Amino acid sequence: FWKVAGGLLILLICCINMYFVVAYVKSLHNLGLYIGAAVLSVIYLSFVAYLTWLCLIALGVSFLACGNTVSVTRTLHLEEPPCHPPK
Q: Which of 41, 52, 46 is nearest to 17 (CA)?
A: 41
Average pLDDT, the chain: 77
Whether pTM exceeds 0.95: no
Say yes or no to pLDDT of 80 above 90. Answer: no
- CA–CA distance, 45 with 63 (Å, rounded to integer): 22
In angstroms, the first-to-last Cα distance of the chain is: 62
Q: Could you read off the pLDDT of 17-53 as tens digits, one per residue?
A: 888 877 887 887 888 888 888 888 889 889 988 988 8
- CA–CA distance, 52 with 61 (Å, rounded to integer): 11
In this prediction, residue 16 carries a pLDDT of: 92
- CA–CA distance, 56 with 7 (Å, rounded to integer): 8
